[in-house]
Amino acid sequence: MGADSRDGSPPREEGELVRQRREKLARLRDAGRDPFRITRFERTHLAAEIRDGFESLEGSEARVAGRLVAQRRHGKATFADLQDVSAKIQLLFRVDRLGEERYRGLNDLDDGDLLGAAGTVLRTRTGEITIAVSDFTLLAKALRPPPEKWHGLRDVEIRYRQRYLDLIANEESRRIFTVRSKVIRSLRRFFDERGFLEVETPMMQPVPGGALARPFITHHNALDIDLYLRIAPELYLKRLIVGGFERVYEIGSVFRNEGISTRHNPEYTLLEAYQAYADYRDMMELVENMVAQAASDALGSVQLAWEGHEIDLSPPWRRARMFELIEDAAGVAADQLETAEQAREVCKRLELPAEENLALSTMLNNIFEGLVQPSLIQPTFVTDYPTAISPLAKARADEPKMAERFEPFIAGIELGNAFSELNDPEEQRRRLAEQAQSRAAGDLEAHPMDEDYIRALEYGMPPTGGLGLGIDRVVMLFTGAASIRDVILFPHMRPPAGG
């Protein structure tokens, strides 16, 4: 890999291609035509507007601007493709229309340059909608050549580190981030239409609560206190429910100091929503309607093609109790999974870890993650998680060991987490005290005690349903992206070598 193509360090020796482009720029400046002195360009149409409105635009004048992405020179006529935010459009330069001198100005242009052009809308004899250029202006010189036009930019490291190049070169990448934006817009509209208030709560928190995860630690100098980047906004949003905002939601980054994988980025986008006087069943209806709406808005369909499967997002989604799914997968009845010894035998048979020191809950979880989860292709709400691992969720009245909680799965991916919120302050205190004990015993992901949160509950929180949804994963599902990094514009990377 030559020069500075993949790291962030200053360029070393410049290549021939860059040198040539600098010389062209210098010539333009010497001629008093420095493109970087231009401040604006009056554009009348986007490329897509000309394409879509061709019938009424044919023969009229248009002014377009964008990036020059291809040139086809034929002596006294030249075709070029101009890419703007909406689409590509072909330009036709003819010496008899531009004059010798302006036509020679094409020699100053390179692929990658930003160009403004004015001309007449027409269709060539091969049917291509084209602007026959009467005047053009270089609006910015690209001193570095763009990636190759046919193969695009494949190198994933450069695609992530220099996302602008990925976006220039790869239509699919532009599509993914457009879908992402549409999904988020759809979610906002969905909640706004249902009377939810969008709020912003602290990203830096003195107590990192609302989830079970390791936080990033930072320091506030003036206050001389450590703060934690939030792992979830949950406890603040529920304080707002106490305050009387009966429906609130927040879409924003959360930060978890954990491993990176195709499904995990240390910084990711979480949607959380809380609705007073509702429970986890209401949250299920909310989720299935919301995701179906988002797919419809962003993709125009509630059917998704996913690795050979047709996924149908239309409500209602399947509901299934976690233990029933485990029983089915393990091929045994519930009473055969009540002790660690029984579970160990089952795990052995299923070729899952079965060491002597494994706890019952760990083995059940392994069965779920190993056998059940990959099979949950069609949308499924998995319900009834153990209360012991759900410290903020209300326990089932008829079965206190189980929480009123569910996680939505699609395409084998866990998309979120939701429950009937625990609003009994005394019970909440007991649960967090237990967690704090585990924490003291070394479990860095146990939930910390939060006295102010409990105090808030003591003022009275209505019964409330709450929801968290991983937006990045939804976008992965919608776009078929294989890695979460493909749906995050600037994913975290190790600093480049020599940078």
Residues 126-165 within binding reach of RNA (CB under 7 A): 126-128, 130, 132, 144-145, 147-158, 160
- Nearer Cβ to RNA, position 141 or 242? 141
Q: Regarding beta strands 303-306 and 77-83, do their DSSP bridges make them parallel or antiparallel, or are they unpaired?
A: unpaired
Q: Which stretch binds RNA (CB under 7 A): 26-34, 208-216, 245-253, 311-319?
A: 208-216
Extract the tokens encoding 62.
């248009």
Q: Any contact of residue 194 with RNA (CB under 7 A)?
A: no
Q: Are 483 and 262 in contact (CB under 8 A)?
A: yes
Question: Which of these, 405, 400, 387, 377, lies nearest to 466 by C-alpha position?
Answer: 405
Nearer to RNA, 145 or 386 (CB): 145
The helix (H) or strand (E) run that includes residue 410 is: strand 405-410
Dist. CA 406–CA 19, nearest whole Å? 60
Q: Which residues contact 60 (CB under 8 A, 6 or more apart)?
A: 120, 121
Query: Closest approach of Cβ 394 to RNA, in Å?
Result: 18
Q: Which is nearer to RNA, 258 or 285 (CB)?
A: 258
Using the rule CB under 7 A, give the single segment among 88-96, 177-185, 186-194, 312-320 that binds RNA. 88-96
Q: Please select the residue that binds RNA; options are 110, 288, 327, 421, rule is CB under 7 A.
A: 110
Contact 451, 440 (CB under 8 A): no
Q: Which is nearer to RNA, 111 or 285 (CB)?
A: 111
CB 395 within 8 A of CB 403: yes
Question: Of the candidates 88, 89, 67, 71, which has an alpha carbon nearest to the alpha carbon of residue 80?
Answer: 71
Determine if 96 is a binding residue for RNA (CB under 7 A).
yes
Residues 6+ apart with CB under 8 A from 43: 63, 64, 65, 116
Q: Are strands 413-414 and 380-383 parallel, antiparallel or unpaired?
A: unpaired
CB closer to RNA out of 159 and 276: 159
Peptide bond before residue 316 is cis, with ω within 30 degrees of 0: yes
Q: Is 77 in the site for RNA (CB under 7 A)?
A: yes
| Full DSSP string of 40-91 | -------HHHHHHTHHHHTTSEEEEEEEEEEEEE-SSEEEEEEE-SS-EEEE
- Nearer to RNA among residue 95 and residue 194 (C-beta): 95
Selected binder of RNA within 28, 87, 95, 204 (CB under 7 A):
95
Positions 333 through 392 that interact with RNA (CB under 7 A): none
Residue with Cβ nearer RNA (153 or 456): 153
Pick 139 or 242: Cβ nearer RNA: 139
Of 256-264, 276-284, 288-296, 301-309, which part binds RNA (CB under 7 A)?
Answer: 256-264
User: CA geometry: angle at 97 spanning 92 and 103, to 5°?
Assistant: 70
Q: Which of 264, 281, 321, 429 binds RNA (CB under 7 A)?
A: 264
CB closer to RNA, 295 vs 392: 392
To RNA, the closest distance from the beta carbon of 379 in angstroms equals 15
Least Å distance, CB 345 to RNA, is 20
* Cα–Cα dist 337/360, whole Å: 8
Q: Give least dist CB 473 to RNA, A.
A: 6
Q: What is the CA radius of gyration of the chain?
A: 29
Query: In this chain, which of 206, 252, 266, 462 binds RNA, going by CB under 7 A?
Result: 266
x/- map, 404-443, RNA, by CB under 7 A: ---x------xxxx--------------------------
- Indicate whether 467 belongs to the interface with RNA (CB under 7 A): no
Gap between the Cα atoms of 376 and 156, Å rounded: 29
Decide if residue 101 touches RNA (CB under 7 A): no
